[in-house]
Amino acid sequence: MWSQVYEKIDQLTEQMVEDRRYLHQHPELSFEEKETAAFIAERYDKLGIPYRKNVGGYGIIGTIQGGQPGKNIALRADFDALPIQEENDVPYKSKRDGVMHACGHDGHTATLLAVAEAVLPFQEELPGKLVLIHQPAEELEPGGAKPMIEDGALDGVDAIFGTHLWATTPVHAIESSKSVFMAGADRFEITIKGRGGHGAMPHQTKDAIVMAGQAIVELQQIVSRRIDPLKPAVLTLGEVHAGSTFNVIADSARLTGTVRYLDEDVQTQVIEEMHAILKGITLSYGADYELDYVKGYPPVINHIDEANYYIEDGTEIPGVKESYEIIPVMGGEDFAYFLQERPGAYFFTGAKIEGREPYPHHHPKFDIDERALPIAAKALLHGYRKAQEK
């Protein structure tokens, strides 16, 4: 049966490309994916696959009940886009100003739809149940995974698998980890509260910009000088806003950023160190501060048996020439919530475009090699197949 399913996937490659390009031209931001959800639902209506919509938001869950005894295995694909203006000059360029599929979620959706269609003719031979989770809002915390879980997405599910098309990894390669695979991802906002005044009379003020400048320098030393160098961490400041004109000393400054970590002890230490630095700087000026620290997605932690389907057995997947374990990636993913609830694994499917600079994810020129789509589809089904044999 499986060789026939894989052959069917190959036959669906052109449709996968067409679906991916349509979705690429019509991206929708997190929590706004109404049209994308309708596109998925329409396909399942056409195929006659039962599904539940509006799961935890715009989420959709399709199910294919096999005719043979077995386990209930879920496969997940996300479908939201990013607030980025696309700079690619391609026929399928985004038609929506300031919105772009710059992370491959269009390809994820096209892949899972093809999985559903490829398996359907062999439903009576299929063991257990195939659960098709189409998830919205991965890009924006609190994300779509947790609401879907709370709405029953994993009810009766024995294991779950997901993949990310990875634009810096060669096509025909699979990457994963037997433990921590991706980082926990938090965000923060700092407000420095000073006292404004005339630019010619600084002695009458408490300069928020000066305090913010010191805070920037000190905060960057948390990772380099206060965290165990054998424990990875990132603290990035992404925005700094202060002042209104050249001759006025600002009364406040706002800094926003992100923290990434693999170990929860590191997360705790970073928060404590941030408070210590900000308190020390503002106290020395007779000023004050606020730190709004939002704990986001936890680390993605794979389960070893399921991860080995891809690390040790990955070359069993048609089209995969090499599979291996990599060190953790400091990007975040709300697939972490699924793995907290059920055994499973997350993995990267190589999608690097040959002969072109591999622009990273979330870049205005991000794109993928569409030859990766059928490989990703077969790789997802590989997890389903191996889990049934476990």
Give the model's pLDDT for residue 87.
98
Instruction: Read off the pTM.
Output: 0.95
Q: Which of 117, 138, 158, 367 is catalytic?
A: 138
Q: If you count DSSP H runs as helices and E runs as strands, how many of each does the chain have, helices first?
A: 11, 16
Whether the Cβ atoms of residue 140 and residue 46 lie closer than 8 Å to each other: no
Confidence of residue 13 (pLDDT cuts 50, 70, 90): very high
Question: Which helix (H) or strand (E) element contains residue 148?
Answer: helix 145-150
Q: Which of 19, 33, 78, 80 is catalytic?
A: 80
Is the pLDDT score of 356 beyond 90?
A: no
Mean pLDDT along residues 155-178:
98
**Segment 265-278, tens digit of pLDDT:** 999 999 999 999 99
List domains and CATH numbers for the chain.
2-182+299-389 (3.40.630.10), 184-296 (3.30.70.360)
Whether the Cβ atoms of residue 301 and residue 182 lie closer than 8 Å to each other: no
Is the pLDDT score of 357 beyond 90?
A: no
CA dist 64 → 119, 121, 130, 339 (Å): 8, 11, 5, 22
Binding-site residue ranges for Mn(2+): 103, 105, 139, 164, 362
Binding-site residue ranges: 103, 105, 139, 164, 362
Q: Cα(155)–Cα(142) distance, rounded to whole angstroms?
A: 21
Average pLDDT, the chain: 97
**Segment 235-290, tens digit of pLDDT:** 999 999 999 999 999 999 999 999 999 999 999 999 999 999 999 999 999 999 99
Is the pLDDT score of 373 beyond 90?
A: yes
Whether 272 is catalytic is no
- The bridge status of strand 173-176 relative to strand 344-352 is antiparallel
Q: Which residues pair with 191 in a beta bridge?
A: 254, 290
Q: Cα(284)–Cα(119) distance, rounded to whole angstroms?
A: 66
Indicate the length of the chain as a whole number: 390
> Residue 262 CB: number of other CB atoms within 10 A?
21
**Segment 201-225, tens digit of pLDDT:** 999 999 999 999 999 999 999 999 9
Q: Cα(222)–Cα(226) distance, rounded to whole angstroms?
A: 5
Residues whose CB falls within 8 Å of the CB of residue 332, separated by 6 or more in sequence, listed in order: 182, 183, 184, 185, 260, 296, 297, 300
User: Residue 26 in 3-state DSSP?
Assistant: coil
Note the helical H segments in 220-368: 221-225, 264-284, 304-311, 335-341
Give the model's pLDDT for residue 265.
97
> Which tokens hold the place of 219?
């905060």
What percentage of residues in the chain have a pLDDT greater than 70?
100
Buried b (16+ CB within 10 A) or exposed e, 350-360: bbbbeeeebbe
Give the model's pLDDT for residue 201.
97
Whether 10 is catalytic is no
State the burial class of residue 283 (Cβ atoms within 10 Å of its Cβ: 0-12, 13-18, 19+): exposed
CA angle 182, 186, 190 (to 5 degrees): 155
What percentage of residues in the chain have a pLDDT greater than 90?
99
Give the model's pLDDT for residue 128.
97
| Helix, strand, coil fractions of the chain, as percent rounded to 5 | 35, 30, 35
